[in-house]
Chain A
């Protein structure tokens, strides 16, 4: 495992944090993420993209995008993280490197309103249908308020506050 970590550390401009249980967090500059992922797949041989999604860091005004990668030989999960501007959330697609990224990007484009350059499907309706409000997984989207505005509740009695 340390072999792989050492090789990741050699990549320019990354910050590597080794966490318990074969988890390695790699923080990368947002402009370098595609290069890093390319390097990871084709040079380091990390072939599997398990997961990719977004954490809304609203207090910092950022979106954190994470790519959970898996390296089969050393059995290590490498988690690449980038922080992008929340007001202008743009990333470049990784689907040329990892095909499943294509559809995870569709999901995050819809749920967080992240713009994905180079992915023509991202931004088209995926899970939601006729959605007109702000992207629903953002922290400032108040789901309780939305429900109260859009749905009728069955108040059996007056006790529901």
Chain B
């Protein structure tokens, strides 16, 4: 710019504007002409309420408090019983909304969007407040992006031992989070609490994750212990349904809740310093049969309610399947000891090596205690009724795992066949891998599993299957065992299997069928059957057992507080319908039974 040109004003130059008389105007003749609206326009909202899960993140992030969560049933019916969703949907007050679109950025499902429409006219100020729906017919504008999103979609990577290292040892595979990893992972949590619906125990997950983020592990463990007496164990072996419910699943990886739980409990050497509320003693006595997770859970919560509790455990140590079944590489024994120590410190008496029905009778318990809880679990392996099953080299998984974990068994055959496709079968197969590495250095050894279920419906969890594959376990999915083959010396030489036609019939019931003409032989010297467990209630006298009612699926029938049809007798753990065969549901129904027993005792007077 040359400033000299401007220093002397001109009279004539402004006349240049006259040419605009003949130019086309810039204005649009609304409504005959419409202005094109850009694709990213941030207008009134659109919400796909069927996709929305009512997590409330939009409400939490709204800078203007424009969003409230309401039940939209009167304008759009929603599935109120959907697990992993709250039966509410955002309602937006457009008198407050600033159209910043942070709610859209924060929406974990991607149901909330903004439209290209910004025009709404009404003389009624209250009508500027509505639940956005798709049916309102607005054109989609601003949506979230996967590249630029304030949500932290990627989870921290957990360090694990390499397959070549871990298969030589029973050392714990998962290393656990470092402080930085844990803080970063805890930071990802949005605190919406949808995960609590997935957890059978309804643990206070957002609260304890927040406490981890605040680096207050004691407070974190305190929240955990309110619903789950074995948090350190669940931090290792839980089926983590909470993570399956996590809202991050819609767009990314779930928050690793389980590892966070493990991190917090690992930071405390013992739970002595965790503040736990304990009610005054009531003088009531409760007997608990079985020291498994449900029995421990029931006992602990009853103790905090002021009752005095005795656990009768037939084995050498409490913990049930946790102590006897789950291999060391998943759950080190000192972890279990730490948590059981805490339960004992709280005042629970645990009588080891005391089998009800043998060392003490069931009637005695009924007589001497105000209530009895049965939590004996499924402690016997199921048989397939296979030809040749009675051979000494065929063993049940639960027995095998106990021999290895508790009795210190180290000898193993070179070629092992595991029947089953569940997590127990994986435990067995991976344990065998380790034993073979120790005994033979892995030379000339083989582990193979055979399961009715094909890959797509295999019941074992994905992590377990992947872990087993990495360690060299061979899978034969879709084959059913036919008979055990013996050689001339009476030793096992293999297992004959036949091809599976289907596992579930048209009614979705377990009813496998086979192609009888398609058979093959799996070679092996040793067979482990991991096809399920069963319970043994023979300690209950006949006349009482007759009074006990069962469900069609042969589980003990209990009410919502775990009380059986015999008054004063409660049951839980894997014996009842609410169990899903994992520790956390046993812990959950043990807790529920504790509440039931407390109610029963307090009403009895």
Contacts and interface: CB of A to CB of B under 8 A. Distances in A.
* A–B proximity contact (CB within 8 A): yes
Contacts of B69: 159
Contacts of A159: 68-70, 91
A156 B126 contact: yes
Nearest to A159: B68
A19 interface: no
Contacts of B125: 154
B541 interface: no
B95 interface: yes
Contacts of A154: 95, 125-126
A154 B126 CA distance: 8
B582 interface: no
A130 interface: no
A12 B93 CA distance: 58
Contacts of A160: 68
Interface in A51-68: none
B523 to A, nearest CB: 68
Contacts of B129: 156-157
Nearest to B128: A156
A157 B70 CA distance: 10
Interface string A124-161: 00000000000000000000000000000010110110
Contacts of B93: 156
Contacts, number: 14
In terms of DSSP, what is the predominant structure of the interface of chain B?
Answer: strand
B185 to A, nearest CB: 30
A156 B126 CA distance: 6
Contacts of B70: 157, 159
Interface string B128-150: 01000000000000000000000
A78 B217 CA distance: 42
A96 B426 CA distance: 83
A154 B96 CA distance: 11
A160 B95 CA distance: 14
Range for the number of chain A residues in contact with chain B: under 10
Determine chain A's interface SS by DSSP, over half rule.
loop
Interface string A81-96: 0000000000000000
Chain B contact residues (Cβ within 8 angstroms of A): what range?
under 10
B191 to A, nearest CB: 17
Contacts of B91: 159
A154 B65 CA distance: 13
Nearest to B88: A159
Nearest to A161: B68
Nearest to B127: A156
B69 to A, nearest CB: 8
A160 B70 CA distance: 10
Nearest to B68: A159
Contacts of B68: 157, 159-160
A156 B94 CA distance: 12
Nearest to B126: A156
Interface in B67-108: 68-70, 91, 93, 95
B75 to A, nearest CB: 13
B316 to A, nearest CB: 54
Q: Which of A156, A157, A160 has the most CB of B within 10 A?
A: A156
B287 to A, nearest CB: 46
B261 to A, nearest CB: 31
A159 B69 CA distance: 8
Contacts of A156: 93, 126, 129
A24 to B, nearest CB: 32
A157 B68 CA distance: 10
A2 B405 CA distance: 69
B89 to A, nearest CB: 12
Interface in A73-124: none
Nearest to A160: B68
A110 to B, nearest CB: 26
B539 to A, nearest CB: 53
A159 B95 CA distance: 16
A159 B91 CA distance: 10
A121 B125 CA distance: 42
A156 B125 CA distance: 9
A159 B93 CA distance: 12
Interface string B38-73: 000000000000000000000000000000111000
Interface in B109-165: 125-126, 129
A159 B129 CA distance: 12
A91 to B, nearest CB: 34
B214 to A, nearest CB: 18
Contacts of B95: 154
Nearest to B91: A159
A135 to B, nearest CB: 25
Nearest to B129: A156
A160 B67 CA distance: 10
B155 to A, nearest CB: 33
Interface in B438-497: none
A19 B124 CA distance: 55
A156 B93 CA distance: 9
Nearest to A155: B126
B120 to A, nearest CB: 15
A160 B69 CA distance: 9
A34 B136 CA distance: 64
A154 B128 CA distance: 11
A159 B56 CA distance: 14
A154 B70 CA distance: 17
A161 to B, nearest CB: 9
Nearest to A144: B65
B351 to A, nearest CB: 51
A154 B95 CA distance: 10
A119 B68 CA distance: 48
A136 to B, nearest CB: 20
B586 to A, nearest CB: 37
B125 to A, nearest CB: 7
A160 B93 CA distance: 11
14 contacts: A154-B95, A154-B125, A154-B126, A156-B93, A156-B126, A156-B129, A157-B68, A157-B70, A157-B129, A159-B68, A159-B69, A159-B70, A159-B91, A160-B68
Q: Which 7 A-B pairs have the closest CB atoms?
A: A159-B68, A156-B126, A156-B129, A159-B70, A160-B68, A154-B125, A154-B95
Interface of B: 68-70, 91, 93, 95, 125-126, 129
Given A154-B125, A156-B126, A156-B129, 11 more contacts: A154-B95, A154-B126, A156-B93, A157-B68, A157-B70, A157-B129, A159-B68, A159-B69, A159-B70, A159-B91, A160-B68
